[in-house]
Amino acid sequence: GAVVSQHPSRVICKSGTSVKIECRSLDFQATTMFWYRQFPKKSLMLMATSNEGSKATYEQGVEKDKFLINHASLTLSTLTVTSAHPEDSSFYICSARAGAGELFFGEGSRLTVL
Protein backbone atom coordinates (compact mmCIF):
# COMPACT_ATOMS: atom_id res chain seq x y z
CA GLY A 1 0.00 0.00 0.00
CA ALA A 2 0.86 3.66 -0.24
CA VAL A 3 3.06 5.19 2.44
CA VAL A 4 2.39 8.41 4.31
CA SER A 5 4.98 9.74 6.70
CA GLN A 6 4.36 12.27 9.45
CA HIS A 7 6.90 14.20 11.49
CA PRO A 8 7.48 14.79 14.34
CA SER A 9 5.83 11.89 16.14
CA ARG A 10 5.96 13.70 19.47
CA VAL A 11 6.42 17.33 20.31
CA ILE A 12 6.33 19.24 23.57
CA CYS A 13 6.19 23.01 23.47
CA LYS A 14 5.55 25.95 25.73
CA SER A 15 2.30 27.82 25.68
CA GLY A 16 2.34 30.64 23.14
CA THR A 17 4.76 29.04 20.70
CA SER A 18 3.96 27.64 17.26
CA VAL A 19 4.48 24.07 16.15
CA LYS A 20 4.70 22.73 12.60
CA ILE A 21 3.79 19.15 11.68
CA GLU A 22 4.73 17.73 8.29
CA CYS A 23 2.87 15.10 6.30
CA ARG A 24 4.50 13.51 3.27
CA SER A 25 3.28 10.99 0.72
CA LEU A 26 6.40 8.95 0.02
CA ASP A 27 5.54 6.88 -3.02
CA PHE A 28 2.62 8.65 -4.63
CA GLN A 29 1.39 12.14 -5.41
CA ALA A 30 -1.47 13.49 -3.37
CA THR A 31 -3.44 16.47 -4.62
CA THR A 32 -5.59 16.22 -1.52
CA MET A 33 -4.60 15.47 2.05
CA PHE A 34 -6.71 15.50 5.19
CA TRP A 35 -5.90 16.48 8.76
CA TYR A 36 -7.62 14.83 11.69
CA ARG A 37 -7.51 15.38 15.43
CA GLN A 38 -8.10 12.72 18.07
CA PHE A 39 -8.69 13.17 21.79
CA PRO A 40 -7.94 10.31 24.20
CA LYS A 41 -10.33 7.40 23.81
CA LYS A 42 -12.31 9.27 21.17
CA SER A 43 -12.77 8.95 17.45
CA LEU A 44 -10.99 10.94 14.76
CA MET A 45 -12.41 14.33 13.93
CA LEU A 46 -11.82 15.81 10.49
CA MET A 47 -10.24 19.26 10.79
CA ALA A 48 -9.56 20.30 7.23
CA THR A 49 -8.93 19.28 3.65
CA SER A 50 -5.56 20.33 2.30
CA ASN A 51 -5.54 21.06 -1.43
CA GLU A 52 -2.30 21.31 -3.39
CA GLY A 53 -1.81 24.82 -4.71
CA SER A 54 -4.90 26.31 -3.11
CA LYS A 55 -6.37 27.20 0.24
CA ALA A 56 -7.37 24.55 2.69
CA THR A 57 -11.02 23.86 3.40
CA TYR A 58 -11.78 23.85 7.11
CA GLU A 59 -14.57 21.99 8.86
CA GLN A 60 -17.10 23.91 10.87
CA GLY A 61 -15.76 24.96 14.24
CA VAL A 62 -12.08 24.67 13.32
CA GLU A 63 -10.19 27.96 13.66
CA LYS A 64 -8.35 28.79 10.42
CA ASP A 65 -5.97 31.20 12.11
CA LYS A 66 -5.12 28.70 14.82
CA PHE A 67 -4.46 25.76 12.51
CA LEU A 68 -2.60 26.93 9.42
CA ILE A 69 -2.43 24.41 6.60
CA ASN A 70 -0.11 24.65 3.62
CA HIS A 71 0.04 22.17 0.74
CA ALA A 72 2.92 23.48 -1.31
CA SER A 73 3.67 20.37 -3.34
CA LEU A 74 2.05 17.13 -4.44
CA THR A 75 3.84 15.25 -1.67
CA LEU A 76 3.87 17.61 1.30
CA SER A 77 1.25 19.20 3.51
CA THR A 78 2.01 21.01 6.75
CA LEU A 79 -0.12 21.86 9.76
CA THR A 80 1.04 24.71 11.96
CA VAL A 81 -0.56 25.13 15.35
CA THR A 82 -0.10 28.82 16.10
CA SER A 83 0.17 30.33 19.57
CA ALA A 84 -0.43 26.93 21.08
CA HIS A 85 -2.27 26.56 24.38
CA PRO A 86 -2.75 23.52 26.61
CA GLU A 87 -6.20 22.87 25.12
CA ASP A 88 -4.49 22.32 21.74
CA SER A 89 -2.75 19.28 23.17
CA SER A 90 -3.95 16.32 21.14
CA PHE A 91 -3.06 13.63 18.64
CA TYR A 92 -2.94 15.02 15.11
CA ILE A 93 -2.95 12.63 12.18
CA CYS A 94 -2.80 13.27 8.46
CA SER A 95 -3.97 11.19 5.54
CA ALA A 96 -3.73 11.18 1.78
CA ARG A 97 -5.87 9.64 -0.89
CA ALA A 98 -4.24 7.17 -3.24
CA GLY A 99 -5.77 5.63 -6.30
CA ALA A 100 -9.53 5.32 -6.54
CA GLY A 101 -10.32 6.65 -3.11
CA GLU A 102 -8.51 4.71 -0.42
CA LEU A 103 -7.02 6.78 2.39
CA PHE A 104 -3.63 6.09 3.92
CA PHE A 105 -2.61 7.59 7.23
CA GLY A 106 0.58 8.90 8.70
CA GLU A 107 1.87 7.72 12.06
CA GLY A 108 0.37 10.69 13.88
CA SER A 109 1.89 13.47 15.96
CA ARG A 110 1.26 13.79 19.68
CA LEU A 111 1.35 17.43 20.74
CA THR A 112 1.71 18.43 24.38
CA VAL A 113 1.51 22.12 25.23
CA LEU A 114 2.82 23.05 28.65
Of the pair 4, 81, the CB lying nearest other proteins is at 4
**Cβ pair 71, 51 in contact under 8 A:** yes
Of the pair 19, 36, the CB lying nearest other proteins is at 36
Q: How far is the CB of 1 from other proteins (least distance, A)?
A: 6
Q: How far is the CB of 16 from other proteins (least distance, A)?
A: 26
Of the pair 14, 41, the CB lying nearest other proteins is at 41
Q: How far is the CB of 114 from other proteins (least distance, A)?
A: 20
102 φ, ψ to 5°?
-75, 135
User: Which of 32, 13, 6 lies closest to 82, judged by CA?
Assistant: 13
Note the residues at the interface with other proteins (CB under 8 A): 1, 32, 34, 36, 38, 43-46, 49, 91, 93, 95, 97, 101-105, 107-108, 110
Of the pair 19, 98, the CB lying nearest other proteins is at 98
- First-residue to last-residue Cα distance in the chain: 37
Exposure string for 60-97, b = 16+ CB within 10 A, e = fewer: eebeeeebbbebeeebbbbbebeebeeebbbebbbbbb
